[in-house]
Structure 1
């Protein structure tokens, strides 16, 4: 189960350093690569807007 970043993302960068496999890409809305994501949940816990959800 990979995680997804929704439109609630404000591109604050809080999730980037938390991802142990660097599966998150920067942009207007950040994106998680489902092929790299190991479903650890660290990004979801770090997101201040609740924009990261489990698929």
Structure 2
């Protein structure tokens, strides 16, 4: 699945468009994207690392 990162005015904050109507705010630091979201009362923290040419979940 392809996602789109959208720049914001803050160079550490992006929006991750999942191309299904869901757009999540994400933070970027040192080749890593961080996001936190809530689904059905459960809180999830995710980190995605960029290594050489691909994102590692």
Q: TM-score with structure 1 length normalisation?
A: 0.28
- Structure whose alpha-carbon radius of gyration is higher: 2
**Greater relative contact order (Cα < 8 A, sep 6+):** 1
The structure whose residues are more often helix, as a share, is 1
The structure whose residues are more often strand, as a share, is 2
